[in-house]
A and B are shown apart, each in its own frame.
Chain A
């Protein structure tokens, strides 16, 4: 997604290039219960969350390390009383500040405070194009109308707005209306993101995964809309791996551009990395971000290309897709160091596609809402 010449980042023994972005999961608390939440199944509780002062230190360390973008996320980051203070600190440290929110808690006063603190960009998730389905998926009544009102506040404050449209079997028929919603809301961008199946989404995959016909129709709709809306709305499109023939460059490559800090202070190469149970993750309480970025075992284990198995090793796409996604490799093959089965060269590729075809055809209805157990 970043318009950047590919940086050369090799094995652990070389100093890695600085990260581009830090995702701050300020909390796992959230008023919504979306069944595809990217948070882990075992979530941090409020009492585990880091203090304002610790987060400010983390933000300063990230800026000094070279991170350019700071994404405030969760859970729902707006449940934290200190969000404005943290945004102001990140802005002063030079980070480009982005709020990733459900927006159901955004009112005029907090919007004005966030804008004044230097917030640059707001991403609001939408679960559908109309109240009944959107509120059902979110597991919260009146969520959809609150989001529409919040989008107007963002534009009123002069901030950039991205609509995050998370798509799956239940709401794909609303994609054209979701695009209309983004235009009417005055968004500059929409992320049409098919659910990625980790954590909660993996648990609920049978109820969410689209059929091949649905996916093809969505891709056609996006292509037409891109032409029609050029200069009005930028459309980022994330396709589901299960029907792909090449893997995505997950996170732009493990530990190449991005890191994630959890509510309790663990530093992860991606937000799903804790599913790889044998990895140990350092915390910001124990070590500096600079030390973790350069030396953490969890960052170096899949960084670069030296860890790669056949057929990744020596593949001319090794530095394009970086072997795909480690969490997906583990979830579907049992081995986090295997080639991502989204790749047509993986021995598990056919199994992955068959799973998607069979589950989407079976049409399971029930899903489990995200909740802290």
Chain B
């Protein structure tokens, strides 16, 4: 461990201005107050932009520009929601459904594919195992956006651009999920259990689906959750692949509305309200599945 790293990441090094200047004062009495005060400041920085979105979604165009940011204007929330839902014959709901479908498909099927591969890397011995796993790690390290245009170029030769396949195939690919699954398989599935199953005459596929997979279920859910969020957040891939509005996910749709809102300000409340509606499913998923994303972070980075 070198001193240069320490000084670079020292907590009281000068940081960015908003809510980021943290110094722990010496003195036991003040310290607990200071710790909590700084944590509250940091949390305010994290939470206030989302709170702003809630307030802004209750305002019509005039109030948005006319009233204080964290004040309620003429309550226009329901009007905004109606406007969002009715625009272009309800295309917003279509976008939400598309996002949900792409993300769920990637999460459930892509997650299963990753879990199977990770399980195989952990439990089976075969020739070339290290080089195959090396390929997986290279896959983890290549940034997503660097492969999006190449994928588009290939997809346009094959003729699958502007179809759901251009999204559904790439979202199944999750090298990081394979890495996680290998860690989970090692810690959740004891070799003795599989050995007992083998003695009882169960084949490897049977014992995966009836023993391995159920034992790895928490890991599978974690991988699926991360994949769900990844696909839901993906912007460049659908932007590049899909021209048909009816196929687009909500991220691309909202950015298109944002483009409209520059010449036509009446789109602004719709962009804001649409943004709010689109994050509600994810917020709920995160709050309900806390246990799983925490374990995913631990397995991915600390082990």
Chain A complexes with chain B: no
Residues of A within 8 A of B (CB): none
Residues of B within 8 A of A (CB): none
